[in-house]
């Protein structure tokens, strides 16, 4: 390969890598799951999603463990929120503004159209590379390299302009969805002001946004202020009960991801519910079981018969090796919130961890119902596998392992487990068909990974 063509290929690869880095993959990041948080996000976004012409049950909001202030969509009807966005938000209305913007990306089909922007930019790059190569072949080496470099800059400039247009479109769509849902846009502007302050701290030039994927925050504020202020809902406050739930969720998340900051932000003099949530998780993460349970006791007095407080109590007891003590609190939590599969899974875990065989039948029913409502719960499948193995049903224990392994991306192992399950389950039954589906779909994933040179992680 000549040096000229090597240069051309390297420049094309550089452009493709630059554009690829603009999309944050979700698969490689830690997903945080909490029943109360997921229910709050569903309730807070339902009207926004409906106003966008989508069905709330079809749109998923996923929380990712990342302390940066960010949110994105990456295909399908899934909105990914970083934990840092929640902990840095002052109120629920700010988070609703972000969700509305991301829903704007979904309805605009921006992820699907993302390839169009790449294609246009790559077309400019190829043309400039060919023109530069022709100049270099004619003996004008410096001119040829200049044409190539200018072409790459033009291509990247066009691609960035494309993404900025998508962001501006999502801003306007989000504003419409908020208005149609009867929700104020104040939080949206407040959040852009937060981002603007971050830009100042990072010394991001404020003259223009030419070299950015997003418009500058001041540009977005200027474009949206009149739109939001014209809404009849500009001064409408967030529902007080919903806001109180958000403050509790934010506090517990802060205690989980940043215990030191939580204890600074919620000192002992603060006896609010959110303060007790924050300190409870901070102490639990710091392996101070009695201190964490004292905070839970205070919460039980403030919020009697709250299923999420009872769930937290049971979780803390269970994770401190006291499953028998956890069972009453978790049983009551499930009674109060029967449609929460994450709570049911924790209860099932406590029943299994008690090592009392008479508890296994109840645990099995709970876990089977949980995975029916929430099939993306590998831990529930693990617990089910434990029960099947204890019952001597190795085939269904293998099927449960296959379900869990496929969720975790361990497709080679999933194939082995699914094959073992098929060998022990009556052919043609529902469980046999499910094992066959896992075997075939994981087999396809293994072939694709081998083709692309990817290696599976074994956990």
Which pTM value belongs to this model? 0.80
Tokens of 173: 């769509």
Cβ atoms within 10 Å, residue 440: 12
Name the residue among 402, 410, 405, 412 with its Cα closest to residue 436: 402
Give yes or no for residue 384 having a pLDDT over 60.
yes
Q: How far is CA 207 from CA 163, 171, 210, 219, 301, in A?
A: 19, 21, 9, 10, 54
Q: Residue 53 forms beta bridges with which residues? A: none
pLDDT tens digits, residue range 279-290? 999 999 999 999
Q: What are phi and psi of 234, to 5 degrees?
A: -55, -45
Give yes or no for residue 99 having a pLDDT over 80.
yes
Average pLDDT score over the chain: 84
d(CA 334, CA 371): 15
d(CA 29, CA 85): 15
Give yes or no for residue 200 having a pLDDT over 90.
no
Mean pLDDT along residues 48-52 = 97
Give yes or no for residue 13 having a pLDDT over 80.
no
Among 22-26, 73-77, 119-123, 142-146, top mean pLDDT goes to 73-77
Q: How confident is the model at residue 216 (pLDDT cuts 50, 70, 90)?
A: confident
Domain boundaries, the chain: 3-229, 393-459
- Give the pLDDT confidence score for residue 112 in this predicted structure: 52
d(CA 42, CA 39): 5
Q: How confident is the model at residue 196 (pLDDT cuts 50, 70, 90)?
A: confident
Among 157-161, 171-175, 324-328, top mean pLDDT goes to 324-328
Rg (CA), the chain: 26
Mean pLDDT along residues 150-156 = 50
Among 10-24, 124-138, 234-248, top mean pLDDT goes to 234-248
Give yes or no for residue 273 having a pLDDT over 90.
yes
Tokens of 190: 């407040």
Contacts 24+ apart (CB under 8 A), 211-215: 211/157, 211/160, 212/160, 212/164, 213/22, 213/160, 213/163, 213/164, 213/167, 214/163, 214/164, 214/167, 215/164, 215/167, 215/168, 215/171
Give yes or no for residue 60 having a pLDDT over 60.
yes
d(CA 280, CA 303): 14
d(CA 173, CA 108): 8
Q: Is the dihedral of CA 16, 18, 23, 24 positive or negative?
A: positive
d(CA 248, CA 246): 5
The answer to whether 129 and 12 have CB atoms below 8 angstroms apart is: yes
Mean pLDDT along residues 378-392 = 95
When mean pLDDT is compared across 10-14, 54-58, 219-223, 382-386, the lowest value belongs to 10-14
Give yes or no for residue 66 having a pLDDT over 90.
yes
Contacts of 37 (CB under 8 A, 6+ apart): 63, 249, 252, 253
Mean pLDDT along residues 23-46 = 82
When mean pLDDT is compared across 27-31, 112-116, 306-310, the lowest value belongs to 112-116
The DSSP line for 34-75 is -HHHHHHHHHHHHHHHHHTT--GGG-EEEEE---SS-EEE-S
Output the CA torsion 187→192→194→197 (10° steps).
-150
Give yes or no for residue 131 having a pLDDT over 60.
no
Contacts of 410 (CB under 8 A, 6+ apart): 456, 457, 458, 459
**What would you measure as the largest C-alpha separation in the chain, in angstroms?**
86
The answer to whether 81 and 27 have CB atoms below 8 angstroms apart is: no
The residue ranking higher by pLDDT, 12 or 181, is 181
The 3-state secondary structure of 164-186, one letter per residue: HHHHHHHHHHHHHHHHHCCCCCH
Q: What are phi and psi of 182, to 5 degrees?
A: 75, 30
Tokens of 139: 């003996």
pLDDT tens digits, residue range 23-32? 444 445 689 9
- Give the pLDDT confidence score for residue 253 in this predicted structure: 97
- Give the pLDDT confidence score for residue 154 in this predicted structure: 46
């Amino acid at each position: 390969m000549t040096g000229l063509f090597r240069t051309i290929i390297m420049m094309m690869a550089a452009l493709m890598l630059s554009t690829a880095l603009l999309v944050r993959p979700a698969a490689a990041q830690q997903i945080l799951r909490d029943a109360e948080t997921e229910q709050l996000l569903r309730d807070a976004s339902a009207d926004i999603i409906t106003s966008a012409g989508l069905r709330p049950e079809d749109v998923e909001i996923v929380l990712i463990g990342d302390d940066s202030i960010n949110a994105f969509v990456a295909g399908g009807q899934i909105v990914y929120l970083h934990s840092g966005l929640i902990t840095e938000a002052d109120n629920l209305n700010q988070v609703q503004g972000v969700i509305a913007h991301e829903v704007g990306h979904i309805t605009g089909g921006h992820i699907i159209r993302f390839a169009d922007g790449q294609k246009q930019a790559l077309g400019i790059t190829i043309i400039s590379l060919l023109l530069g190569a022709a100049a270099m072949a004619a003996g004008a080496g410096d001119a040829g390299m200049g044409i190539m470099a200018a072409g790459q800059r033009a291509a990247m400039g066009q691609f960035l302009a494309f993404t900025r247009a998508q962001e501006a479109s999502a801003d306007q769509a989000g504003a419409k969805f908020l208005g149609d849902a009867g929700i104020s846009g104040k939080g949206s502007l407040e959040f852009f002001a937060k981002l603007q302050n971050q830009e100042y701290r990072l010394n991001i030039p404020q003259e223009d946004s030419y070299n950015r994927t997003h418009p500058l925050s001041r540009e977005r504020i200027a474009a949206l202020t009149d739109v939001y202020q014209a809404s009849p809902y500009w001064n409408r406050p967030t529902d007080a009960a919903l806001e109180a739930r958000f403050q509790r969720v934010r506090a517990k998340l802060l205690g989980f991801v940043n215990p030191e900051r939580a204890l600074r932000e919620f000192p002992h003099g603060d006896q609010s519910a959110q303060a007790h949530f924050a300190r409870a998780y901070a102490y639990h993460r710091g392996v101070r079981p009695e201190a964490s349970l004292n905070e839970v006791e205070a919460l039980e007095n403030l919020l009697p018969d709250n299923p999420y407080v009872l769930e937290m109590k049971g979780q803390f007891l269970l994770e401190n090796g006291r499953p028998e003590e956890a069972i009453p609190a978790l049983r009551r939590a499930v009674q109060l919130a029967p449609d929460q599969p994450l709570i049911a899974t924790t209860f099932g875990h406590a029943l299994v961890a008690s090592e009392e065989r008479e508890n296994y039948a109840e645990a099995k029913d709970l876990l089977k119902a949980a995975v029916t409502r929430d099939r993306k719960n590998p831990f529930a499948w693990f617990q089910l596998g434990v029960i099947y193995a204890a019952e001597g049903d190795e085939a269904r224990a293998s099927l449960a392992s296959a379900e869990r392994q496929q969720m975790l991306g361990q497709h080679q192992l999933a194939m082995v487990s699914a094959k073992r399950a098929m060998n022990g389950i009556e052919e043609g039954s529902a469980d046999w068909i499910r094992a066959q589906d896992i075997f075939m779909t994981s087999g396809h994933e293994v072939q694709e990974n081998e083709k692309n040179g990817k290696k599976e992680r074994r956990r």
